[in-house]
Amino acid sequence: MPARLLIGGVAALLLTAASATAAWTTPAAGGSAAARAAALPQAGAPSATKSGIGTVTVSLSWPPVPGATGYLVARTGGIGSLGGTCTGTLTTTSCSDGPLLTLQTYSYTVTAVHGGWTGPAGPATTVNT
């Protein structure tokens, strides 16, 4: 008989605990959440140094851009097209363009990229060879 009483008491306690921890579920709340895409910032102007006589090489470097996974270098002016290690998508923050003709004026800009995104082109740096 005492054992039955004990079992009954434990069962009652368990039932009480179960009812105390039962939670009410609120109706599902529908609405909108938000997320925002990043935007690539404008790259800085590259610094440029030239070297060589007769044929010139221009070495460029620029500060890293937050969020960028690569960089595109563009050149305007002068004769010929961009060359050296500055072609294609670069994963570094420096490159060298050459060989270049003397007595020319070249302008360089850098653009940050990330996947299919491209940021705004940075300000140009002009080099006279």
Binding site for other proteins (CB under 8 A): 23-40, 67, 114-119
Residue 92 Cβ vs other proteins, minimum distance, rounded to whole Å = 19
Residue 121 Cβ vs other proteins, minimum distance, rounded to whole Å = 13
The answer to whether the CB of 129 falls within 8 A of the CB of 103 is yes
Helix (H) or strand (E) holding 91: none
Coil, strand, or helix at residue 57? strand
Nearer to other proteins, 77 or 120 (CB): 120
Sole residue written with tokens 């605990």: 17
Nearer to other proteins, 4 or 36 (CB): 36
Residue 45 Cβ vs other proteins, minimum distance, rounded to whole Å = 21
Looking at the DSSP assignment, which residues form a beta bridge with residue 107? 76, 126
Coil, strand, or helix at residue 40? coil
For the CA atoms of 43, 47, 53, 55, the dihedral, rounded to the nearest 10 degrees, stands at: 0
Nearer to other proteins, 41 or 83 (CB): 41
Nearer to other proteins, 104 or 118 (CB): 118
The answer to whether the CB of 22 falls within 8 A of the CB of 91 is no
Residue 78 Cβ vs other proteins, minimum distance, rounded to whole Å = 29
